[in-house]
Amino acid sequence: MTGSSLYPVLLHYPVEDKDGNEISAAVTNLDLHDLARIAITYETGDVWVVTPIPEQQQLVRDIVAHWTCGAGSRHNPDRKLALSKIRLAASLEEIIQALCSDTSGPVFTIFTSARKTGSELSFESLRRLLEQRQGRYLLLFGTAHGISRKLRQQADYQLEPIQAGGIYNHLPVRAAVAITVDRLLGR
């Protein structure tokens, strides 16, 4: 099953710090590489990286350029293919506007969180929605301590949290994306 209707979104803003304050978190090189590799492996739509900070946007552009058209592209062609899936936006609204500019149906937002609210969409339910291909689904992953309360309230759905069974539940975002995408698109 191809996952082209599923678009992983790595939010660096608006996210929360450990005290629940809305912040903008820093972009990390490893997140870009690993999310791109997950996306190409599972054939998702493009990976969107959201940061409103110009210096952080330039960092994303520099990393992607190095691996897609710079020295890295000649050194590692597989990485070139993967990093070509990375797209940059200053806001979630910018992504929605870009995707709504074509006629591929509605765009839905689904946020992920380690916290249960009782009204989550199950992995199986989202898998069925993806199979119906009646829209595009932005799967939102937050950096720092998660997606801001304001954005969580605006999302169309919340996906059930990954439950490993222990009392600690704060996965690195790269791991959370890999587990989630595998549960949704894996065989």
Q: Residue 3's pLDDT is what?
A: 55
Q: What is the pTM of this model?
A: 0.95
The answer to whether residue 128 is domain-embedded is: yes
Distance of CA 96 to the CA centre of its chain: 13
Contact residues for 125 (Cβ-Cβ < 8 A; gap 6+): none
Q: What is the CATH number of the domain that holds 139?
A: 3.40.1280.10
Q: Residue 1's pLDDT is what?
A: 41
The answer to whether residue 124 is domain-embedded is: yes
Q: Cα–Cα distance between 110 and 112 in angstroms, integer?
A: 7
Residues of the chain with pLDDT under 70: 1-3, 103
The answer to whether residue 87 is domain-embedded is: yes
Residue pair 134/105 in contact by the 8 Å Cβ criterion: yes
Q: Residue 118's pLDDT is what?
A: 84
Q: Cα–Cα distance between 134 and 87 in angstroms, integer?
A: 23
For 133, half-sphere exposure in the C-beta direction (CA atoms, 13 angstrom radius) is: 8
Model confidence over 129-183: pLDDT tens digits? 999 988 999 999 999 999 999 999 999 999 999 988 888 888 999 999 999 999 9
Q: Is 186 helix (H, G, I), strand (E, B) or coil?
A: coil
The answer to whether residue 1 is domain-embedded is: no
The answer to whether residue 143 is domain-embedded is: yes
The answer to whether residue 12 is domain-embedded is: yes
Domain that holds residue 177: 6-185
Beta bridge partners, 86, equal: 47
As given in the structure block, the two tokens for residue 11 are 């939010």
The answer to whether residue 60 is domain-embedded is: yes
Contact residues for 74 (Cβ-Cβ < 8 A; gap 6+): none
Q: Is 64 helix (H, G, I), strand (E, B) or coil?
A: helix
Q: How many residues does the chain have?
A: 187
Q: Cα–Cα distance between 71 and 99 in angstroms, integer?
A: 31
As given in the structure block, the two tokens for residue 185 are 């698109």
The domain tally of the chain equals 1
Q: Residue 103's pLDDT is what?
A: 65
Q: Is 155 helix (H, G, I), strand (E, B) or coil?
A: coil
Other beta carbons within 10 Å of 139:
27
Residue pair 39/47 in contact by the 8 Å Cβ criterion: yes
The answer to whether residue 61 is domain-embedded is: yes
